[in-house]
Structure 1
């Protein structure tokens, strides 16, 4: 009996090594989020101290997102994956040793959080760029769907839950040690990738280029490729109106609408995570839509944003949870299609830079969105902030769809599954 479409990438041995390493790493990252918070609290720190550590981590991530893509297009991607996982393990080893010796301070945690952000900035472009080296084109949609299921499941659910159980039974130091073991295992698993899996294709006749020239080439590709460049513009604008309400105002909406506290808020996030897993699975289980650009923008800008207007009037946890699940499902389904488009339509020698540019744009206005959401919510109330994305999203989606003539682009560049193709051979 043939495997379901969503599981077919697992027939490729090299991919099994890659996804195992990614899963271990994401599991550790999910544990670290909770562990870091309770290590800060254990040191006597409060919200300001945790905000200090988190802000340093965010600044490092944004600053290195673009250099991470440049490196992924210049250096063996397997080497990058192994190096960043090893760096994570070293950061956890040092933190764990400081905790055991009783000398742990806030700056140790800030440095460790920054190092993990360095790893994320370099890991994401390398991971995206290595997939087409391991899998045939017809498996890429499923592979992106698998990632779309693993991340919310381990980063937002299993990782935090495991950390909470360990910290409750022992101490925050136990969480750090568990992160060390997981990152160490992720390093060892990444080493199992074939030697040539991360090789960068080079034109022997081409002149060597500098990092700055590589950056300019990537920016020029975004400018000259409407489906890519205009989607980034769309994402940048939507992040500004979407992230703040979800990340900052949702706990207050839960309190006002449902009279709930932290557990109710966690339930809403869990509903969104469950929706993300379901959306990724369903998208990975079917062929790539023929109207893939239209479908993607529809999922993101219409199905994924209009329901936000229902959150301020949700009268029960079931209603609000259902809306959150719809947001998660549509967002992850669109992301699976987008990741597949990058790997199918971006030239291989530019894929690392394209992925990092996408990553950078997704992060660039996130701090601003989170900074203004609170003051705007206090001044105008919560409802307008949740209605705004529901209005802006569809209008902006239609504008980008029209400006970039996406309906013509997707017809001119059909993407079939090519299920019969074999992966690119690696040494």
Structure 2
């Protein structure tokens, strides 16, 4: 499973991913607590977080097109330098006392734009450095380290620095980490024959539309993406925007307690991803995937009622397990059922569609909580995904579909996968690694998606 890390160039790329995710986690905690230090409300945090998700949403599809036409290594290098300027500049303004809420929003928007270009380029570069037979292993442990870095390591580093200094110092350290990542990127040796293609057939818009049409006529894929979009709408805002206020007002905690809960989520994500990666593909893979995601938000009930930190920590761990375990199924599912020639576009649309409602989720979280209270808001976020999952499973006839298209483990190493009913290209063989997540996530997270989408998971990050 760890064989790809023995390859020098992928190992360098993997280090840059860890740096990117860690700095995303540091930004998440630092900017939230900077807003709180400035006397801001949940609505203020919504504005800052929403700016990041808008930037991510705007740049994602363009990032996918650019990654197919320009050196991905060059894209990553430029983006890391931009992150140094943005994060380091915001940190300097915080330390000098010149920071304002509009400046934080502008910085968050810029980082969202960067992330929209970053992850398509990263995902396109991976198969150039790793043989096709090792891509599933890459998908498994990248799914594990994403929540760990974005939700555990990054927030923990930021919380420690905030405790001994202030959010500005944490941001300066994050900027320095981005500089290290840029230096690692330039050391990667990309095979010349596998460089970015200069001659691409067809118009980018026409190729993108072909991907949209494929999603539209593939029920399991369309239903999964619509479900993910609505789940992001109801869960990401409460987690990213309201959780710090629940910690402060109900549990009387601060940045360190916030980082503990995010770390618990991150470690839960590691456990969930590794557990799922170590198992065979479930026979009812669609039902299992959507079903787990449907109940994944139930631990959020605890965030709305707990009066101490430790129940929130436990809830965060369970949340991480349930959100991240299905990500491994999803990544493998795309690789084995989507035609090779469409996989890049479908993955980009997956990322885009999962982010559509993220800005609205951030924008609504604060006002809704002020109208009905934190407890009721978290309760709605915890319960609404359950009926959404049931509707998705039944509307797309997923139980019948998964029996008609079994994904047997003995087929994993074959060059040819299944042929879709509509007659498109054969799936299987060399594929690109699916990016993130939920976002959720934000991841990152909750996918909780944030600056790095969840994660999208989540993207929170």
- Which runs of structure 2 are paired with 1:237-248 in the superposition (5 Å)? 237-248=230-241
Q: 1:254 to 1:96 in 2, by over 3 A?
A: closer
Shift of 1:219: 1.4
Q: 1:340 to 1:74 in 2, by over 3 A?
A: farther
Shift of 1:326: 1.6
Quote the residue 1:183 is aligned against: 178
Quote the residue 1:196 is aligned against: 191
Quote the residue 1:279 is aligned against: 272
Secondary structure of the 1:209 match is: coil
Question: Which residue among 330, 338, 343 is the counterpart of 1:346?
Answer: 338
Quote the residue 1:68 is aligned against: 63
Quote the residue 1:127 is aligned against: 122
Q: TM-score, normalised to structure 2's length?
A: 0.74
Distance 2:239 2:28 in 1: 18
The farther-off stretch of 149-158 and 374-383 is 374-383
Q: 1:235 to 1:77 in 2, by over 3 A?
A: same
Quote the residue 2:112 is aligned against: 117
Contact map agreement 2:87 2:174 (CA 8 A) in 1: yes
Contact map agreement 2:155 2:263 (CA 8 A) in 1: no
Structure with bigger helix share is 1
Contact map agreement 1:76 1:199 (CA 8 A) in 2: yes
Q: 1:115 to 1:189 in 2, by over 3 A?
A: same
Quote the residue 1:328 is aligned against: 320
Secondary structure of the 1:84 match is: helix
- Which runs of structure 2 are paired with 1:296-311 in the superposition (5 Å)? 296-302=289-295, 304-309=296-301
Distance 1:386 1:95 in 2: 31
Quote the residue 2:80 is aligned against: 85
Q: 1:119 to 1:264 in 2, by over 3 A?
A: closer
Secondary structure of the 2:409 match is: coil
Structure 1 position 151 matched with structure 2 position 143: no
Quote the residue 1:19 is aligned against: 14
- Give deviations 1:385-425, integer Å, cap 9, x for gaps: 4444554323322322232233344342525374699x97x
Secondary structure of the 2:279 match is: coil
Q: Which runs of 5+ in 1 are unaligned?
A: none
Q: 1:191 to 1:315 in 2, by over 3 A?
A: same
Quote the residue 2:396 is aligned against: 404
| Higher RCO (CA-CA < 8 Å; seq separation 6+) | 1
Distance 2:269 2:105 in 1: 30
Coordinate RMSD, CA, aligned: 3.8
Distance 1:346 1:314 in 2: 43
Contact map agreement 1:126 1:352 (CA 8 A) in 2: no
Q: Which runs of 5+ in 2 are unaligned?
A: 416-428, 431-461
